[in-house]
Chains A and B, each alone.
Chain A
Amino acid sequence: MKQQGIWPYLLLVAGLIGLQFSGSNYLTNLANFVAIQALPAIGLSLLMGYTGQISLGHAAFYGLGAYGSVLLATLLGVNMWLAMVLAAVLVGIAAWALGWLVFRLEGHYLAMATLGFGIIVHVILVEMHDWTGGPNGMTGIEPMNLFGHEFYSDKQVFPIVWGACILGIFFAESLVRSPVGLLMRGVSENGRVVASLGASPDRMKRLVLMVSGIYAAVAGALYARYVGYLSPGPFDVGFSIKLLLMVAIGGFAQIWGVLFGVAFVALVSELLKPLGGYDIIVFGVLLVVAVVYCRDGLLQTLFAGVRGTLRLARKSVS
């Protein structure tokens, strides 16, 4: 196996430090959302790219993590960090249980079952007024604080969310390079072969769904504390599809590619803001183009194109 490269991390950290020196609050805010959304996207990439199982309900884990961490903190009166961990563990367990139910299915059926799960959770968030505040949501969520120090502004939250994101990337990379990662790829290629080697493909799938759910839950909890306000809107099926788009642009089974996908989608969203509601046309077209014509992700396809052109150019020169 290839050794884990340290260069991407150094480049990323250098870029982030540079961004801090630019002093722009707008860019910091955008970068924070990239970090928060990168976590569920990487989780989805572990499940879809590496293990070959589709999920259209990842927004539900994200939402359960967000609402769960806040509710646990207020209801049990525990410390918010402990509540985050508890919420992540509970969502992990829920994902494991869901896996037990849905991984009897494959392909279209799996897609629709996970979509159903996502919609059920969204309906629950809207309908359980007493707990979630219904469509109005919950306001006045306390910002993160550690030893009496509050993390409120974009700049203060920045190191926390990016720290979590880099940890998430590191763990995901370690996972896919480990023997478990090989099994994951095996399940994606051919579950029967994995079973014949004495490993249970269904257990693998459940495990990856659990890890993936925890990624989304942690991101949701950070989101709740950062934004300070929760409503069911950001956790609907639309967000699951956006995650799908990020992973597709990133090339499915490429963790750094997925980070690029998240940043790309965030930038495109910002550029399309003047279009208002019409931006989803662009996202839809991007999704189709990414899946149909850029099978290894946008970046790889562009590189391949550039390389091809360079080769042609060199040939014509010589």
Chain B
Amino acid sequence: MSEFVQLLISGLMVGSIYGLIGIGFTTIYNVTGIVNFAQGDFAMVGALSAIMFYAAGSPLWVAIILAIILVGLLATLIERFAIRPIGTHVTRGIIATIGVGVVLQGAAVLIWGSDAQPMPAFSGDRPFNLWGTTILPQTLWIFGTAATLMVLLYLFFQKTYPGKIMRACAINPFAAQLMGIRLNAMRTFSFLLSGMFGAIGGIIVAPIALTQYDSGIGLGIKGFVACIIGGFGNPIGAAVGGLLLGVLEAMSSGFISSGFKNAISFVLLLLFLSVRSGGLLGDLEKVGR
């Protein structure tokens, strides 16, 4: 029983990270209609640059904030020079974001080397016991950060005026422009936001998992699967999907085999895409033809 609870907690923890990455996807997709295949690499760059700033001697929280801002700015640059020239062409958008991801990984090897790097936990790494299971303090940080950010983003999109503007850009960019919305500014803003979310996801998970140049690929794909499970374009769906995916993965690696863990999330992906491509909470119209 306690093994089950332990797996559940680690699954929920990893799942919140997937959810955060998934929300990064959602933010860009909801404004530009583009799925950013480099989303996971934002997380990787965020974590590695936070580690670098920390090693350079700045306090941990300063290092983290600097890294988040850095990745946000990087994301806006990417939007301006690699994504905007493409417009709305889906296939070219996919290829361009894949190219950006490859460049980010290469640059990470160049700057930080290919070794996996550790990051200190935010508030010590002395585990405590709860109902017979062992929990790291960092787990609470992950839960707290993920939950806060998800709720804030949901409120932002649903209740605030800028959030509604951003959604309008996704629903009908042309009409939004006629209403006087500056589309390009909104696109830039969505990339800024999404880059920052990605960086936060990468940074809060860094203390419990080493980060290296190719850590982003796995995170990005899992984040996307989270979006698919929950329904693409729906931040709450991404969060729910992430948690579900994290728990299923933890259970399968605990009770079946850890080697097939990655394949299992893809089986889930193919299953959802073919059986219920609108996800649990999404609407089917957007996906199918």
Q: Are B100 and A288 in contact (CB under 8 A)?
A: yes
Query: What's the least CB distance linking B228 to chain A, in Å?
Result: 7
Q: Which of A116, A127, A248 has the most CB of B within 10 A?
A: A116
Q: Which of B83-121 contact A (CB under 8 A)?
A: 85-86, 90-92, 94-96, 98-107, 109-110, 114
Q: Are B109 and A104 in contact (CB under 8 A)?
A: no
Q: Are A115 and B221 in contact (CB under 8 A)?
A: yes
Q: Are B95 and A113 in contact (CB under 8 A)?
A: no
Q: Are A288 and B96 in contact (CB under 8 A)?
A: yes
Query: Which are the 5 A-B pairs with shortest beta-carbon distances?
Result: A284-B102, A281-B106, A287-B99, A284-B103, A288-B99
A230 within 8 A of B: no
Q: Are B274 and A104 in contact (CB under 8 A)?
A: yes
Query: What's the least CB distance linking A56 to chain B, in Å?
Result: 8
Number of residue pairs A-B, CB distance < 8 angstroms: 131
Q: Are B114 and A292 in contact (CB under 8 A)?
A: no
Q: Are A241 and B98 in contact (CB under 8 A)?
A: yes
Set of chain B residues within 8 Å of A295, measured between Cβ atoms: 92
B197 within 8 A of A: no
**Chain B interface residue number, banded:** 35 or more
Query: A123-B263, A292-B96 known; A48 and B86 CB under 8 Å?
Result: no
Q: Please give me the residue from chain A that is nearest to B100 by CB atom.
A: A288
Query: A105-B273, A123-B263 known; A292 and B98 CB under 8 Å?
Result: no
Majority secondary structure, A binding face: helix
Q: Which of B263-289 contact A (CB under 8 A)?
A: 263, 266-267, 269-270, 273-274, 277, 287-289
Q: Are A287 and B90 in contact (CB under 8 A)?
A: no
Q: Which of A136-181 contact B (CB under 8 A)?
A: none
Q: Are A277 and B114 in contact (CB under 8 A)?
A: yes
B55 within 8 A of A: no
For the complex, give the distance between the alpha carbons of A113 and B270 in Å. 6
Q: Are A104 and B103 in contact (CB under 8 A)?
A: no
For the complex, give the distance between the alpha carbons of A123 and B269 in Å. 15
For the complex, give the distance between the alpha carbons of A56 and B277 in Å. 19
Q: Which of B91, B92, B104, B262 has the most CB of A within 10 A?
A: B91
Q: Are B105 and A280 in contact (CB under 8 A)?
A: yes
Q: Are B221 and A119 in contact (CB under 8 A)?
A: yes
